[in-house]
Amino acid sequence: MQEIEAEVQNFMRYDGHVDPVLDNQYLVRSLYFETPSAENFHEKIDGIKTRRKYRLRTYSRVHNSDTPIFLEVKGRHNERTYKQRVELDISDLDIIYNMENITDLIDIYSGISLIESFVFDVYRCRLSPAVLIDYNRRPYVSDYDMYFRVTFDQKVDAVSSVALFPSDINSKFRSCVAGYSILEVKFNRRIPAWFHRIIQAHEMRRRSISKFVLGMTTCDLAEDLS
């Protein structure tokens, strides 16, 4: 990882959200929703071409009014992936945790299709919070290539949780891929030639890695039977 990252730094720069105190990284925290039968997990394992899953995302381990909180949907249609998000008021988290009043979100965030789809899927699929995943991310962006982004993710930890900021749970986190880092590459149309050379020089192979799947299996919430 260190060798590859040193080469990437010749062509890219940190994005504007890194914290020098955290070794030019930032924390990513995601609370994923799942069905009682772990349908999202099995759709990912089985490689279903059209699928989507919901998560709450923030960038802090503590309940902080200054930290943004997003409801996100991440999906796949054939070979293309997509992500949509809407920022939530922190006071509305209790509505999401208490599914009995989930339809209140449609009035609070009127006209936002992502909120409407989420509420519909909560009822249709019986979605509820399932697994909380933390990791440290060091992101790079390019000033020269058309939307090309490289991130290095480390210390991926997971815990079974029904809340984004659960109390007294830090000691219960389990490490998902101890000793490894996850390199993600995001681009629109093509990978630049200089990165192709890095891939060839280090004999890198493309591999599908889902932090959601890692977290579910690490916390014994689902099992890959394939």
Task: Give the pLDDT of the chain (226 residues) as one tens digit per residue.
Answer: 999 999 999 999 999 888 888 899 999 999 999 999 999 999 888 888 788 999 999 999 888 878 899 999 998 877 677 889 999 999 999 999 988 899 999 999 999 999 999 999 999 999 999 999 999 999 999 988 878 999 999 999 999 999 999 887 777 999 999 999 999 999 888 899 999 999 999 999 988 889 999 999 999 999 887 6
Find, among 80, 70, 75, 84, the residue nearest to 30 by Cα: 70
Q: Bridge partners of 69?
A: 88
CATH class of 2-218: alpha beta
100 CB contacts (<8 Å, ≥6 apart)? Answer: none
Taking the domains of the chain in order of start, what are their residue ranges?
2-218
Question: What is the per-residue pLDDT for 226?
Answer: 65
The values of phi and psi at residue 119, to 5°, are -60, -40
Q: In the chain, count of helices (H) and strands (E)? A: 7, 9
Question: What is the per-residue pLDDT for 146?
Answer: 78
Question: Which whole-number Å values give the CA distances from 8 to 107, 111, 175, in the listed order?
Answer: 46, 42, 27
173 CB contacts (<8 Å, ≥6 apart)? Answer: 134, 157, 158, 159
